[in-house]
Structure 1
């Protein structure tokens, strides 16, 4: 398996980045218990006896979590292990009730695979090592406790899929683009809600630097990056810091670090452990996880069309540019809205322009998701049809869109009539206006005949002004050119 990478030298050093991403699986209950995974409950109200590791309790595998792991493996072209095992990962934190985390080590459920994406217009592919199932720990709380700390075990036992890459990325831009593509995949196939603020999608970046051709440098792991903006800032700072340390004659020590968005700096949290430090051994309370081939085939039959395949189809079926297709497939909801609009209007490129343009602008300004759009795909399709058939101009279309968006009107044609937005398509009336403009602007006419295109645009502007913006621009251009010879 190959990967496409393009090294970016920073002060003579090559940057090497790998990712470990924890995606919280979209199950209603935890991975080994029936406790709820709903976010925002009062502390310790969603932690049952199994989650708190009370004596005599035993874990029971959540089939829905396995189902989502299979779905991810199929989406990225991985091998789904027919037999995988769970292990105990031993470490001692106050918010880890058992003193160990149930995870997978030697035989993970998802093995290999790759994630392909673009950095600008350059294709990239990052290889995956594995994706394994595990439980989350609880959370230590340090605020509002009068100098003490509290423990909330609501997250303990929440199902996670940890997705691990090879160290294939060579720049911050490539790392962020990978993270965004992975985020798109897990939300697209419905295995994770992708809410980074709530901790549903958490990225750890392993960053190191080296001189070109030298062995891999010592990596430092930046933990729990919960926004793409902070991810870029943290990796950029870490790269600069490591290069400065090496240039000053210091050796990089393997460590886990945190990013402080207030200072824009990373700071060491602890020395980084290796696998041996966790003393992995098979969990005696859980039998091997067996996944029959027909289970995999069943999940495959339920998979949605994947974003990369859909983007290719948009290019082939609708004649869209690659850029449009990639932007329209950033989410399933946007893709569905576009396709409904394109089919209803019969104008795929114009539909693409409006979805990526005016619709996206208003959604962003009002902080709405496309599913909350006040303008339905049917309404937008009707509006686009009226632009395409020359009933209204693109500028008038924006006025109609605004009326639909604000709820001033719900009908495209009624809005056009009420606002008097119909274009003037009467050839005789247009010719009369054009004749008057030509007679009133002999200087511009002479300049145009002398080869100055700006003079023609000025004449078009005068015609549009005389028609109060209602003249069909295409017709104006055609008739004006005919009359000017």
Structure 2
């Protein structure tokens, strides 16, 4: 879209994100929640909505909601009621969903995002607990819709934002931060491709400076962060084009087709459901005390923004290094273990982003399966910094041996293979003098200003020391001898 049109129009966007929680049982029953199980094997009379069955609140869901609320700076409600949201879905056996209506467990708060335009805080309206519906499958049978009720009753947190987004890039950044948060908090795997994180967006446009919002359009069925961004940007352009052409924007629900990059109508406002909320009679209200909130707060891990600030402000790492390290919680925790073992921050960051990431990428693996412990990596870094081995020897010789023998000691490997560098000045001086004696003409060239010949002398010193000379010490001694 052209800058002139962006100067004229403004998009108003809000997001509703459903994150599926990683509890071992469902929200109101003891059914398992394992992803990928055979259809309709993780059900019970409760999740199937049989008459006479009663739900029981899963305390892990309450704890997870509080954890997320604390991380986002929300107000945690003390008195929490459950509500019935009434509507008929073929894959919602009870005919209603247990959710929260007027008493969401978390209100307020914000999520900090960074885009090409800088830092922005996205305000939250609410976070509330509810259960998922089952899954209707339309593409396995040409004549029938198949129903898998394994997902029915799986716990969800719905995160509702204020209409603070102005473009698709901001929405993408927000979803990335939400996913990072739920993973750091260990409350969800955040896998959008598995349906663990789902997003609906509400988009409207208005003339810049106008106070009244435009007509809101909801876009559903978005299955990736990139598609969320594309759907929003398409919808902004579509609405502006329509208004400028004299058309009316109707309140409706649309779906996004990733192949065409366009949205299309699912239903109009006239088809909207009347959910007829009322208090869930089968579940007692939950009281979340300040004492409980304090106990949960004590169990929280370091959060990504805290670590980002620590790495840049306290440890002096670059913004790039800090972001790479904090992108994945497991990587950040491995780095923390390296620091606890007294590894130099920059050296540890370089090893994680270099040889360690290369090993993981080659195998499409995760840091949890990396064989070498953080303490051993710290010992290897210490060997380099003490001048006992070069970075090349550590990377190309010791590191591969450790991969096959992760319990080995890096210094012991270096000693066994005679890779310890010579830093004894008397022994090195002999190599330096011998190298200079071999090329008296080059010595004169150096002293006449041709400094490039220093590499020739260094090569000879390394050859005579069988590669064990400390390059820094040898280079310094060469310069001192030549400059006499």
Which category describes the TM-score, using the shorter chain as reference length? 0.7 to 0.9
Of the three residues 86, 89, 92, the one matched with 1:90 is 86
1:141 offset after TM fit, Å?
Answer: 0.9
Q: Could you list the runs of 4 or more consecutive aligned residues of structure 1 that deviate by over 6 angstroms after TM superposition?
A: 273-276
Say which SS state the counterpart of residue 277 (structure 1) adopts.
coil
Matches within 5 A, 1:292-371: 292-315=289-312, 317-371=314-368
User: Which is worse superposed, 139-148 or 158-167?
Assistant: 139-148
* Shift in CA distance, 60/342, structure 1 to aligned 2, threshold 3 Å: closer
8 Å CA contact 2:436, 2:457 repeated in 1: no
1:79 offset after TM fit, Å?
Answer: 0.9
1:272 offset after TM fit, Å?
Answer: 5.8
Aligned pair count?
A: 472
Deviations 1:163-187 (A, max 9, x none): 0111222333322222111111111
8 Å CA contact 2:203, 2:216 repeated in 1: yes
Rounded to whole Å, the distance in 2 between the matches of 1:395 and 1:287 is 65
1:69 offset after TM fit, Å?
Answer: 1.0
8 Å CA contact 2:432, 2:461 repeated in 1: no
Rounded to whole Å, the distance in 2 between the matches of 1:83 and 1:106 is 11
Q: CA RMSD in A?
A: 3.3
8 Å CA contact 1:403, 1:409 repeated in 2: no
Say which SS state the counterpart of residue 278 (structure 1) adopts.
coil
The TM-score normalised by the length of structure 1 is: 0.85
Structure 2: runs of 5 or more not aligned: none
What corresponds to 1:221 in structure 2?
Answer: 218
The TM-score normalised by the length of structure 2 is: 0.85
* Shift in CA distance, 374/208, structure 1 to aligned 2, threshold 3 Å: farther
Structure 1: runs of 5 or more not aligned: 1-7, 450-454
8 Å CA contact 2:435, 2:460 repeated in 1: no
8 Å CA contact 1:203, 1:225 repeated in 2: yes
Q: Does 1:380 align with 2:363?
A: no
8 Å CA contact 1:259, 1:267 repeated in 2: yes
8 Å CA contact 2:87, 2:273 repeated in 1: no
Q: Does 1:123 align with 2:119?
A: yes
User: Which is worse superposed, 438-447 or 126-135?
Assistant: 438-447
Rounded to whole Å, the distance in 2 between the matches of 1:37 and 1:420 is 55
Rounded to whole Å, the distance in 2 between the matches of 1:438 and 1:19 is 73
Rounded to whole Å, the distance in 1 between the matches of 2:162 and 2:184 is 23
Q: Does 1:170 align with 2:171?
A: no
Q: Does 1:463 align with 2:458?
A: yes
Rounded to whole Å, the distance in 2 between the matches of 1:10 and 1:368 is 45
What corresponds to 1:452 in structure 2?
Answer: none
Q: Does 1:475 align with 2:473?
A: yes
Larger Rg: 2
Matches within 5 A, 1:402-413: 402-405=400-403, 410-413=408-411
Rounded to whole Å, the distance in 1 between the matches of 2:446 and 2:228 is 57
Q: Does 1:138 align with 2:134?
A: yes
* Shift in CA distance, 193/274, structure 1 to aligned 2, threshold 3 Å: farther
Deviations 1:169-207 (A, max 9, x none): 233332222211111111111221223222112222333
Say which SS state the counterpart of residue 143 (structure 1) adopts.
coil
What corresponds to 2:144 in structure 1?
Answer: 148
Say which SS state the counterpart of residue 294 (structure 1) adopts.
helix
Matches within 5 A, 1:431-446: 431-432=432-433, 435=436, 439=440, 445=446
Rounded to whole Å, the distance in 1 between the matches of 2:432 and 2:418 is 21
8 Å CA contact 2:218, 2:252 repeated in 1: yes
Rounded to whole Å, the distance in 2 between the matches of 1:74 and 1:219 is 30
Q: Does 1:187 align with 2:183?
A: yes
What corresponds to 2:19 in structure 1?
Answer: 23
8 Å CA contact 2:342, 2:378 repeated in 1: yes
